[in-house]
């Protein structure tokens, strides 16, 4: 094993990748439920995605902010111009 100078670049690259992955996940979350669903599907593709992305995107399967039903109905109404009614 080498001293700090020998692992410094690897450490910096690792930190940069981790930051990029976290930012990517935050962007997906900000785009909304459809993009979160896509990212959840992508997270299952360990044969295609790098490990760092799979690990972070898998977090979206367990730890996602809730999206209210009322807000969903407002969005649906806005985009489809139809009303939704609750079932008894």
State pLDDT tens for residues 26-85: 888 888 888 888 888 888 888 988 888 788 888 877 776 676 788 778 877 887 765 555
Element (H, E) at 9: helix 4-31
pLDDT at 84 (0 to 100):
52
Between 6 and 63, the higher pLDDT residue: 63
pLDDT band at 1 (very low <50, low <70, confident <90, very high): very low
The answer on pLDDT for 25 being more than 80 is yes
pTM > 0.75: no
49 secondary structure, DSSP code: S
Q: Is 57 exposed, middle or buried (0-12, 13-18, 19+ CB in 10 A)?
A: buried
């Amino acid at each position: 094993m080498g001293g700090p100078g020998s692992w410094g670049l690897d450490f910096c690259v690792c930190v940069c990748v981790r930051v990029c992955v976290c930012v990517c996940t935050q962007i997906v979350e900000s785009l909304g439920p459809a993009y979160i669903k896509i990212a959840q599907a992508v997270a299952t593709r360990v044969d295609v995605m790098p490990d760092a992305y799979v690990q972070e995107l898998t977090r979206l399967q367990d730890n996602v902010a809730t999206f209210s039903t009322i807000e969903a109905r407002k969005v649906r109404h806005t985009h489809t111009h139809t009303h939704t009614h609750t079932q008894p």
